[in-house]
Amino acid sequence: MGELPDVDQAARALADVRRRQQQVIDLANIPNWYWWVVGGLTVVLAAGVDARRGPILGAAVSVFVVGMVATTLYVTVRPARRAQLRNGIVDIRGVLAILSFVALVIAVTLGIAFPLQAAGVPMPATVGCLAGALVMGIGGPLLMRFLRKVMLDNRAGSPR
């Protein structure tokens, strides 16, 4: 059997483990640009709906679907091939933050679009989705910053 590491060696090894854990968590981060792209694609879809013309709606749906699939695959598949997060790293705080963010985007979008539609304002879905896109673009990075903190708090060996 080898000798036990001294205190400095153990501290360096622990620091290395924590650094590698942080690198894995950072791979799970959704980049800021993604939120703006999703918001923009939603506005494109809403504009197609508001146009009320088949070919325009068909084009908008196509752009939305292709754009969402491509960007979502890009931000999820590449990092997942490099490292996997362990179960339990996102706790109830993270789940509630995600659900609250989704609820906020929906509330803002519909809370603007429906009254505009009732008032006869043109393009109500587009305007509502534009507001929702702004919430996504601004709030998405804030959500990711919070989720990163949650994951760092829940990584193996973190003090609770």
* Model pLDDT, residue 49: 96
- State the residue range of the domain holding 83: 9-154
CA 48 to chain centre: 24
Residue 100: inside a domain, yes or no?
yes
Q: Shortest CA distance to 125 belongs to which of 136, 108, 112, 138?
A: 112
* Model pLDDT, residue 81: 61
Counted domains in the chain: 1
* Model pLDDT, residue 145: 93
d(CA 55, CA 59): 6
- The series of mean pLDDT values per 10 residues for the chain, 160 residues long, is 72 78 76 96 97 96 97 82 67 93 97 97 97 97 93 70
Residue 4: inside a domain, yes or no?
no
Side-chain half-sphere CA neighbours of 90 within 13 A: 17
Residue 160: inside a domain, yes or no?
no
Residue 143: inside a domain, yes or no?
yes
* Model pLDDT, residue 13: 77
* Model pLDDT, residue 24: 72
Q: Residues near 10 by Cβ (< 8 Å), separated by ≥ 6?
A: none
Residue 60: inside a domain, yes or no?
yes
* Model pLDDT, residue 90: 80
